[in-house]
Every structure is written in structure tokens, then in C-alpha cells.
């Protein structure tokens, strides 16, 4: 136990181990995460329908599968449908979350605690709990098979987290900000958009990214609320593709990579936002 | 500001400015909660009150229409026998009796609870000591690349994770190739089609998804533990193991609570991975409530039974999450 002198602050373990242990553990686990992805990528590089084995560089590597999977599953349309849902979902959810968080954080009104509690009830509610009547209710008003069904349902399901998150952000700002602006005669609407929202831009970015991620990845609701193959989202399309081509490993692998790529790309760019957001508000994953 | 008092001198002077700026904030917040309404002599107090509801309307409206009411509707439907097409008939608690007696329903609930081992307990049991080792060895190092990679399973769609592991577990997949390579050819099989092993195989996908999350949560948590606690333990002559149990573990109480909550919800409400890897089979050996609700409602025409199971599942999740909250808040 000689670590005490050089490692004054952290739990100690023998020096020689300690220098290597941290990086080794982290790298080992990173490897365990990456290997299945690489296995998938290698499989996708084989010719369509080939009998693939484990973890080997393909004999005739080809990118043809990506094109084949793209046209077989109609990913052009599927990805477009996903984008439409996201373009509706993210701004609408952010707007609702900002407005609700603002009211909960800065205003006094009757029933504040009760309404906030009502909203928080939704935090632990599984998607399975609402999906059945949601389908029948939305069908009866003709909303199933439209992106709007998914946008509205997901906005509702994401609202507890968003309102909670924005309330926290607004509470963390010094109240002088609001008071000074109010003193200048600004009304609550101006205070919100001119003063508070600009101050919370990083938190808003994080929330927007989480909404994008959850919306893009949502499978159960997409599967149930949108039955028309032409209107499906990319993950739902992948679900059906698996059923249709379950034995064609290279094609399936390519399709999976196509669905994964957009989220991974956004994740890699905004990685810090994602991790801090998920650590801070890991309540609804 | 007891935190500041506990800090060594050098730290205090450096952070004094920031602290002083923050202090009045905290103070003000306690004394002026009705902040928006405080505008002195403004006629707006009542107006402000009503305007709050306008700000809340969009969020609460969407939430009520698309979450709260459907959920109430779930409870309502759970008392009916309904095939989704013809007129339903009142069934009282019949569907709930089925949930508690039907072997498939019970299997689904058992599997969901069993997934807590794979989705929560295993990842936490692996993540805790490893985070301690990483924290001990690396000090303040943050391993940005490894962290980013460890979070990947949280980011990609679970349906894609499922397809990926179908391939990993396939007859020619990597799992069997590795077993081959280490001389365990006799053990290889099509894991997801095996009555005994499919459940464990699917559960371990959950472990793979969740372990990175717990490791990153705990590693971030360890950075926040007061270093003087470690010094005190060291002076008392505690070894690394006792230090882990005496300082690290209690210090991570809140983080363990967060990790437990997130992973338990994921375990009980699992759908995507099971749906795409086994669909609940072979037989009912991997059936979980999510998949069973889907099958009952949308392929078997047993909407009432599906809703009863959904109600039981939500109650189960809410109860367990509440219990975790209690456990974590309680003083050791």
C-alpha cells in the first residue's frame, strides 16, 4: 500500500495496478460495447444472402447491401416519415415544456402543487399502459396512420419530464432577472422570451436532443399508431423488415445500420449534451 | 454555508466571489416564492394568477388528452370483455382474476420481475466496484472517449439493439464462435430458440445495455464524494475494500437510487428487445408484460385482459419506484 503519497484524494489501491486499472476497465467495457456493433458492420459488408460467420473480414466486401436494404425496406420513405415526426414533435414539446416550466417556476396560482403532482404521475408510466386505448381513441377520431397521432401522443408522454426539467432550469436562475425586467414594465411573455429563454439555451438544447432521441427511437407507439406501411417510421419499418428477411443476415445488418446512423451521428456531435442530460434527468429513459 | 466552512482556505478564497453571488439568490428564493406576483403595487396579482393557467394549458392539455385520459380509459376497459370490434360486456374483476391466475400472464409478470436481476442488479453490481476502481486509479480523469462509447447502447434504438443481438446469438454468430474458440463447442446452440436459455440470453442483452449507464452514473457520483472522507478512512487504517464499503458505497446512495429507478423501469416495461429477438418465445419462455399486452390487444382480441395487465404493470412499477425512493432517502 504505497499509494498514499501520490494519490492523496482518491480511494487507494497499490500504485502499479492503479495506473493501469482505470484505463483498462474503461477500455475493456468500451470494447464490450463496440464489438457487437463491429460484428454487425462486418456482417453488412458481405454479399446479400451470404452465409456469414461470427467475426471475420468478408471475402468479397461490398457496400451493395446498403442499397439493397434501402430499396427493399423503402428507407427513403421511412426516414422521411421519421423526420416529419421529429420536426413536429421536438418544437411542440419544447414549447409546451418551456411554458409549463415557466408557470411552475415563477408563478403563484391555485392548485400549483396538485397540477405539478398530476404531471409527475406520468414520469413512471410505461408506454404499455396507455397504448391500447390510445389506439382505439385515436382511430375513432381518424388520427391513426398520421404523423400527428405520434407527435401528439409522444408530446404528452414526454411532457412530465420536460416541464420538470424546464422548471428546474428557471428556478436555478437568479430571481433578480425576472424582477428587474418586470420593474421595467415587461409583461410575463416578454420576460420569458427575452430574458429567461436566452439564459437557459444550453439546457434547452439538451432537452431538444433528448426529445429527438426518444422520439426517433420510439418503437411501440410507432408500431401501434401507424399501421399503414407507407407512413411507418424508420424503427417500426426495421421491425417489419426483420420479419420479412429474418434469414438474410447481411441485408438485415445493413438495414439496422441505416436506422442507427442518424441517431449516432447526432449523438457524436452533441455527445456532452446527451450525457449530461441523461445523467441529470435519467428518470425517463 | 456549511460547505464553504468545510473547505480548505485556498479553495474558499477562490470560490468566495461565486459563492457570494449565489448566496442572495438562495436566500431570496426562500422568502419570495410568489415571485411573479410580487410586482409592487401592480394591479396584476389576480391577472398573473389567471395567466399561469394559459401558460400551462398547452402542456396540461396534451398530457391530459394523450396520457391521462387514455390511462383512465385503460382502467375502464380493464373491467370489460371486449374484442376491439363488437360491443364489450362488463366483466367486473374477471380480467384481474385472469392476470393473477392465467399461467401466461403470471409468466410475463415473473419474467418482468426476473429482468430486474439482468437490467438492474447485475449492471449495478458490475458498475459499482468498477467505478470505484476507475475513480481510485484515475482521480479526476474523465475518460471522454470511453464514456461516449459506454453510452452508445442508451442512444441507439432498442429495436436495432435487438436485431444486433439476434445476430450475436445466431448459430453462426459471435457468441457461438467465441465458445467454439475456447473449446466449448458442445455448448453452442441457437440461443434465442432454446427453451432454457432464451430468457437468460435476452436478459443479458439488458445487462449489456444498462452496464455502461451505471458505470458512468457511479463514476460521476464518485467525483462528488468529499475527498476528506477518504483521507479520514485512510487515517483510520482502512484498506481499499473497507474504504469502498465505508465511504464510496454510502456516498453513492443517491446515484444508486437513480440507477435503480431507471433500470427497474426499463426492466419491467421492456418491449422492443423482446419483441424483435424472441417475440416472447419459444413457447412463453421469454414473454414479458409489454409483449403480452401488445399480443392480447392487437392480435388476440382480448382488449380487456390487455388493459388489466397494463394496469397491474403500471401499479407494480409505481410501487417499486416509490419503494426505491423510500429506501434511498432513509438514513443508513
DSSP secondary structure of B105-170: HHHHHHHHHHHHIIIIIHHHHHHHHHHHHHHHHHTT---HHHHHHHTHHHHS-HHHHHHHHHHHTS
Does residue A185 fall inside a structural domain? yes
The shortest C-alpha distance from A204 to chain B (Å) reads 16
Looking at the structure, do residues A173 and A87 belong to the same domain, yes or no? yes
Does residue A4 fall inside a structural domain? no
For residue A267, give the nearest of B155, B174, B307 by CB distance: B155
Chain A and chain B share a number of CB contacts under 8 A equal to: 370
Report residue B28's pLDDT band, with 50, 70 and 90 as the boundaries.
very low
Residue A176 has pLDDT above 50, yes or no: yes
Residue B139 has pLDDT above 80, yes or no: no
Q: What domains does chain B contain, in order, with CATH numbers? A: 95-329 (1.10.3720.10)
Dig out the grid coordinates for A109 from the structure: 396560482
Looking at the structure, do residues A54 and A133 belong to the same domain, yes or no? no
Does residue A285 fall inside a structural domain? no
Residue B319 buriedness (CB in 10 A; 0-12 / 13-18 / 19+) = exposed
Does residue A2 fall inside a structural domain? no
Looking at the structure, do residues A147 and A184 belong to the same domain, yes or no? yes
Q: For A66-131, give the DSSP string.
A: HHHHHHHHTHHHHHHHHHHHHHHHHHHHHHHHHHHHHHHHH---TTHHHHHHHHHGGGG--HHHHH
With an 8 Å Cβ cutoff, are B52 and A103 in contact? yes
The shortest C-alpha distance from A77 to chain B (Å) reads 18
Does residue A195 fall inside a structural domain? yes
CATH of the domain at A266: 1.10.3720.10
For residue A54, give the nearest of B130, B135, B174 by CB distance: B174
User: What is d(CA B90, CA B79) in angstroms, rounded to the nearest whole number?
Assistant: 6
Looking at the structure, do residues A49 and A89 belong to the same domain, yes or no? no
The residue in chain A having the minimum alpha-carbon distance to the alpha carbon of residue B308 is A129
Mean per-residue pLDDT, B16-23: 38
Residue A184 has a CB neighbour count (10 Å cut-off) of: 9
Percent of chain B residues past pLDDT 90, beyond the cut: 45
Residue B278 has pLDDT above 70, yes or no: yes
Looking at the structure, do residues A132 and A51 belong to the same domain, yes or no? no
- Interface confidence, given as ipTM, is 0.87
Does residue A135 fall inside a structural domain? yes
For residue B307, list chain A residues with Cβ-Cβ distance below 8 A.
132-133
| pTM recorded for the entire structure | 0.85
Does residue A99 fall inside a structural domain? yes
Residue B49 has pLDDT above 80, yes or no: no
Q: Are A144 and A225 in contact (CB under 8 A)?
A: yes
Looking at the structure, do residues A152 and A171 belong to the same domain, yes or no? yes
Dig out the grid coordinates for B103 from the structure: 399461467
Looking at the structure, do residues A33 and A100 belong to the same domain, yes or no? no
Task: Please give the residue range of the domain that contains residue A56.
Answer: 16-66
For residue A137, list chain B residues with Cβ-Cβ distance below 8 A.
69-70, 73
At A2-37, the pLDDT tens digits run 444 444 455 555 555 566 777 888 888 889 999 999
Query: Which residues are CB-neighbours of B115 under 8 A, at least 6 positions away?
Result: B203, B206, B267, B268, B270, B288
At A32-80, the pLDDT tens digits run 999 999 999 998 888 877 777 767 777 778 888 888 889 888 899 999 9
Domain tally for chain A?
A: 2
At B295-310, the pLDDT tens digits run 999 999 899 999 999 9
Mean per-residue pLDDT, B70-97: 89
Amino acid at each position: 500500500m504505497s499509494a498514499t503519497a501520490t494519490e492523496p484524494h482518491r480511494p487507494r489501491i497499490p500504485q502499479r495496478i492503479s495506473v493501469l486499472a482505470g484505463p483498462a476497465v474503461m477500455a475493456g467495457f468500451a470494447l464490450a460495447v463496440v464489438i457487437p456493433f463491429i460484428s454487425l458492420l462486418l456482417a453488412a459488408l458481405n454479399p446479400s444472402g451470404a452465409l456469414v460467420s461470427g467475426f471475420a473480414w468478408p471475402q468479397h466486401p461490398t457496400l451493395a447491401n446498403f442499397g439493397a436494404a434501402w430499396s427493399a425496406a423503402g428507407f427513403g420513405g421511412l426516414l422521411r416519415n421519421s423526420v416529419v415526426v421529429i420536426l413536429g414533435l421536438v418544437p411542440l414539446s419544447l414549447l409546451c415544456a418551456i411554458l409549463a416550466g415557466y408557470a411552475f417556476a415563477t408563478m403563484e396560482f391555485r392548485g400549483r402543487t396538485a397540477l405539478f403532482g398530476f404531471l409527475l404521475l406520468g414520469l413512471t408510466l410505461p408506454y404499455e399502459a396507455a397504448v391500447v386505448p390510445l389506439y382505439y381513441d385515436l382511430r375513432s377520431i381518424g388520427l391513426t396512420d398520421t404523423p400527428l397521432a405520434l407527435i401528439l401522443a409522444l408530446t404528452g408522454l414526454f411532457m412530465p419530464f420536460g416541464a420538470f426539467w424546464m422548471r428546474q432550469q428557471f428556478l436555478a436562475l437568479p430571481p433578480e432577472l425576472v424582477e428587474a425586467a418586470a420593474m421595467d414594465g415587461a409583461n410575463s411573455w416578454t420576460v420569458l422570451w427575452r430574458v429567461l429563454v436566452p439564459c437557459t439555451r444550453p439546457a434547452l438544447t439538451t432537452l431538444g436532443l433528448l426529445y429527438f432521441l426518444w422520439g426517433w427511437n420510439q418503437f411501440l407507439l410507432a408500431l401501434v399508431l401507424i399501421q399503414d406501411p407507407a407512413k411507418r417510421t424508420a424503427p417500426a419499418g426495421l421491425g417489419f423488415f426483420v420479419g420479412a428477411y429474418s434469414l438474410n443476415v447481411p441485408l438485415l445488418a445493413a438495414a439496422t445500420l441505416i436506422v442507427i446512423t442518424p441517431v449516432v451521428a447526432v449523438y457524436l456531435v452533441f455527445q456532452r449534451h446527451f450525457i449530461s442530460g441523461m445523467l441529470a434527468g435519467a428518470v425517463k429513459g | 454555508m456549511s460547505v464553504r466552512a468545510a473547505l480548505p482556505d485556498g479553495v474558499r478564497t477562490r470560490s468566495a466571489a461565486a459563492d457570494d453571488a449565489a448566496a442572495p439568490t438562495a436566500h431570496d428564493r426562500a422568502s419570495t416564492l410568489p415571485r411573479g406576483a410580487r410586482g409592487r403595487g401592480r394591479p396584476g396579482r389576480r391577472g398573473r394568477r389567471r395567466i399561469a393557467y394559459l401558460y400551462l394549458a398547452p402542456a396540461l392539455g396534451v398530457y391530459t388528452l394523450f396520457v391521462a385520459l387514455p390511462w383512465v380509459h385503460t382502467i375502464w376497459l380493464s373491467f370489460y370483455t371486449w374484442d376491439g370490434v363488437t360491443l364489450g360486456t362488463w366483466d367486473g374483476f374477471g380480467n384481474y382474476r385472469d392476470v393473477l391466475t392465467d399461467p401466461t400472464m403470471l409468466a410475463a409478470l415473473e419474467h418482468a420481475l426476473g429482468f430486474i436481476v439482468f437490467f438492474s442488479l447485475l449492471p449495478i453490481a458490475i458498475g459499482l466496484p468498477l467505478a470505484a476502481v476507475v475513480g481510485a486509479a484515475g482521480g479526476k480523469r474523465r475518460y471522454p472517449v470511453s464514456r461516449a462509447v459506454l453510452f452508445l447502447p442508451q442512444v441507439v434504438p432498442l429495436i436495432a439493439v435487438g436485431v444486433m443481438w439476434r445476430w450475436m446469438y445466431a448459430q453462426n454468430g459471435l457468441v457461438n464462435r467465441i465458445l467454439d474458440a475456447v473449446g466449448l463447442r458442445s455448448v453452442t446452440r441457437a440461443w434465442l430458440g432454446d427453451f432454457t436459455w432464451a430468457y437468460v440470453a435476452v436478459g443479458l442483452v439488458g445487462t449489456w445495455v444498462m452496464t455502461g449507464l451505471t458505470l458512468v452514473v457511479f463514476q460521476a457520483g464518485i467525483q462528488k464524494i468529499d475527498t476528506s472522507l477518504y483521507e479520514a478512512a485512510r487515517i483510520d487504517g482502512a484498506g481499499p475494500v473497507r474504504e469502498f464499503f465505508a465511504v464510496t458505497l454510502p456516498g453513492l446512495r443517491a446515484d444508486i437510487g437513480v440507477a435503480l429507478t431507471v433500470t427497474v423501469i426499463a426492466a419491467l416495461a421492456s418491449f422492443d428487445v423482446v419483441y424483435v429477438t424472441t417475440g416472447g418465445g419459444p413457447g412463453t419462455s421469454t414473454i414479458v408484460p409489454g409483449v403480452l399486452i401488445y399480443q392480447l390487444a392487437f392480435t388476440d382480441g382480448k382488449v380487456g385482459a390487455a388493459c388489466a395487465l397494463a394496469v397491474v404493470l403500471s401499479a407494480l412499477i409505481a410501487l417499486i419506484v416509490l419503494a426505491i425512493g423510500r429506501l434511498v432517502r432513509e438514513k443508513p
